[in-house]
Structure 1
Amino acid sequence: MKTHILSGTSIFCSILVMALFSNCSPKQNKEKAQPVNKPVTETFTLSHGALNTAIKIPAELTAFREVDLYAKVNGFVKAMNVDVGSQVHAGELLVRLEAPELGSQQSGAQAKLKSLEAVYIQSNATYQRILETSKTPGTISKNDVDIALAKKNSDFSQLDAARAAYRETDNIVQYLTIRAPFDGVISARNVNLGAYVGPSGKGSELPVVTLKELKHLRLVVAVPESYKSLIKISDTVQFSVKAYPGKIFSAKITRRAGVMDTQLRAERVELDVYNDDLELSPGMVAEVSIKLSGDKNGFLAPKNAVVNSTDGVFVLEVVNGKIWRRPVVKGRETDSLTEVFGSNLKDGAIYIKHASEEMHDGASI
């Protein structure tokens, strides 16, 4: 009786275990049979394109014309007609000097000129009389006529030399005035009335005044060597200055040096800035924004597609489901694109979008 009860219990447990296995095993097998999803390798099609970017470079505004005016002769300042900030016009008298010795030289040259004019008038008249008389046969010998002609020519040569000497002294006296060579503003004045001045290094260490043109300025930019081929004459450039926050000025590239500065490895580029309202001033520092047109012979690739490793710079081309490295030379970059150049690159070919140096030649994707 007791044994029968135990056997029944064992049979019940066996049936329960079999039911549990029958419910669980198919489910586990079903889960194991589900396929594993492999990560998808993103690709892109390579194509030609121009990458249009812009660079920002510091620049400096300078006067289009600027000159330090010195006295041409030694003398004392007699009159100062201008001061710092004076706007002047071409030919306007700025400073007058005095040098008594120059006045004496001019008076002496003038007196000598008048004296020789009188001598020449006399010798010329004598020659004319002798020549006229010689026309009567037997009155005056041919030798006397030649002597009178020689005297006349000699006196004329001396008169001509005196005229040249007088013009020279007159020109030197003109040096006692300093006039403006062009329209502009006096930016510096270094002497006062009565000061002794003269040519640079011979009486004056500093110029009498400095004149700068303000209505026409130069914007001087040092363009790095890598951007030399991307700019050209007449390109429009925008710039700003700290004196006018938020205001944008524009100018066109007018001149370029064509050679690289040996220290900066940059090319000097100049732009003409017309400043009729005198808002801008020479010496201002500007921030220039230059738009750069890309090279249409290059290719555009996603930035992550270009691998820069110890083996070199390359992109990964997909050919028949396999990966192959293609060496490239990088150009300019934006946040998402990179210019690439290479002889093995093909327009319309498929390349890996997110490449890495762990991907080797011949690997399948």
Structure 2
Amino acid sequence: MRNNLAKAIVFLGTTALVAGCQTSAKQNDAVAEKLPVIETFVPKKEILTTELRMPAEITGFQQVDIYAKVSSYVKELKADIGSQVKKGQLLMLLEAPELSSQLAAAQSRLRSQEAVYTASRSTYNRLFETSKVEGTVSRNDLEVAEARKNSDFAQYQAAKAAYTEIQTLLGYLQIRAPFDGVVATRNVNHGAYVGPAGKGSEAPLMTIQQQNKLRLSVYVPEQYSGYLKNGSALQFSVKSLPGQTFSATIARMSGALDSKLRSERVEMDVINAGNKLLPGMVAEVQLPLTAKDSTYVVPKTAVVTSSEGTFVIVVADHKTSRLPVQKGRVLEDRVEVFGAISDSTQLVKLATEEIPDGTSVK
């Protein structure tokens, strides 16, 4: 009887223990089932090559506004808007009657002073030769003659300089092309008064542009300037010539950021074959951005930008944590990121602000 009772107690205890274990296991399974399932991935490095489209401006490789150096009148126009001109070609002839009178007066003064100097020089030379015979010429007379000769020579040089100056001013009445190019603007007509100051000096007489070679200028944002270098080839297009693309080469980079735009000025040289392109056109430039080193590229959905900053969500030991990153270049569905990421980091593919740090996940 006692043996049967003991067996019954042992059986009931074993049954209760098994039931308790089964209940605990079911509870653990229930907790595990409640953990959210989040898709993760391991980021990979790539040497990213992207393209940046930016508006750019086309200008003449050289451009100069021509002004009158002396007060004068337009006597004759030798070129007009659209004229192809060569370096040194006469563009405009001006006239200044008062300069011609001044030149004649300066020439007369020059000849007069030259005669005076010639006479004083002859007197000095004669006295100098005579003074070689002792007692014929006093030392004082010789010194006075020499001083007069030197003074007359200085006056002669001054008259010569004045004459040359007026000749130079007369040369300014001939307006010539400084380089091969095209007359882009003409702001005066025959008979117009022009001068270095006052009425007639507000606008240039003409503007000359070099158009067989053009300058393409673009301002590249700070975050992309490091991807460009001199000598890089690129393509661009203009709205006035749809369907056509043109080639250019990066020739100059400013090496500094504009204080207002926070961007770097980049200039390209364009050979204008067929003169299809014109200064003043707005172009769209395709700038190739090729990374020097491989970088991590992740789906856009893995990066969260909020008031707290930009971050990705890392999963380690089934717990989430936010990792601050910086965005780089953006593709259609991917983005370049920089931060404390490694090849073994598990990142949440669909990251949101609603996933706080310390969230338990499967």
Q: TM-score, normalised by structure 2?
A: 0.83
Residues 74-131 of structure 1: CA distance to partner in whole angstroms, max 9, x if unpaired? Answer: 1121111111111111111111111111001001111111111111111111111111
Equivalences for residues 143-222 of structure 1 within 5 A: 143-222=140-219
Q: Following the alignment from structure 1 to structure 2, what is the Cα–Cα distance between the partners of residues 314 and 295?
A: 24
Equivalences for residues 1-365 of structure 1 within 5 A: 41-294=38-291, 296=293, 298-309=295-306, 311-343=308-340, 345-360=341-356, 361=358, 363-365=360-362
Residues 223-274 of structure 1: CA distance to partner in whole angstroms, max 9, x if unpaired? Answer: 2233232322222221001222111112122223334334433332221112
Q: What one-letter code is carried by the residue in structure 2 that aligns with 1:282? A: P
Q: What one-letter code is carried by the residue in structure 2 that aligns with 1:238? A: Q
Instruction: Point out the structure with max Rg over C-alpha.
Output: 1
Paired residue for 2:21? none
| Compared CA separation, residues 301 and 155, structure 1 to 2 (3 A) | same
Residues 303-327 of structure 1: CA distance to partner in whole angstroms, max 9, x if unpaired? Answer: 2222334554332333344444322
Given that 1:74 and 1:203 are in contact with CA atoms closer than 8 Å, whether structure 2 keeps it comes out as: no
Q: What one-letter code is carried by the residue in structure 1 that aligns with 2:96? A: A
- Displacement of 1:145 in angstroms is 1.2
| Compared CA separation, residues 200 and 323, structure 1 to 2 (3 A) | same
Q: Helix, strand or coil: the match of 1:95?
A: strand
Gap regions ≥5 residues in structure 2: 1-32
| Compared CA separation, residues 145 and 254, structure 1 to 2 (3 A) | same
Q: Following the alignment from structure 1 to structure 2, what is the Cα–Cα distance between the partners of residues 150 and 347?
A: 95
Q: Following the alignment from structure 2 to structure 1, what is the Cα–Cα distance between the partners of residues 331 and 39?
A: 20
Given that 1:90 and 1:181 are in contact with CA atoms closer than 8 Å, whether structure 2 keeps it comes out as: yes
Q: Following the alignment from structure 2 to structure 1, what is the Cα–Cα distance between the partners of residues 188 and 263?
A: 39
Q: Following the alignment from structure 2 to structure 1, what is the Cα–Cα distance between the partners of residues 52 and 282?
A: 16
Q: What one-letter code is carried by the residue in structure 1 that aligns with 2:168? A: N
Q: What one-letter code is carried by the residue in structure 2 that aligns with 1:82? A: A
Work out the number of aligned pairs and report it. Answer: 328
Identity of aligned residues (%): 50
- Displacement of 1:330 in angstroms is 2.0
Which stretch has the larger CA shift, 94-103 or 350-359?
350-359
Given that 2:51 and 2:288 are in contact with CA atoms closer than 8 Å, whether structure 1 keeps it comes out as: yes
- Displacement of 1:354 in angstroms is 3.1
- Displacement of 1:200 in angstroms is 4.8
Gap regions ≥5 residues in structure 1: 1-35
Q: Helix, strand or coil: the match of 1:91?
A: coil
Q: What one-letter code is carried by the residue in structure 1 that aligns with 2:63? A: E
Q: Helix, strand or coil: the match of 2:264?
A: strand
Q: Following the alignment from structure 1 to structure 2, what is the Cα–Cα distance between the partners of residues 346 and 260?
A: 33
Q: What one-letter code is carried by the residue in structure 1 that aligns with 2:278? A: S
Q: Helix, strand or coil: the match of 1:277?
A: helix
Q: Following the alignment from structure 1 to structure 2, what is the Cα–Cα distance between the partners of residues 207 and 331?
A: 47
Q: Following the alignment from structure 2 to structure 1, what is the Cα–Cα distance between the partners of residues 359 and 95?
A: 92
| Compared CA separation, residues 201 and 213, structure 1 to 2 (3 A) | farther
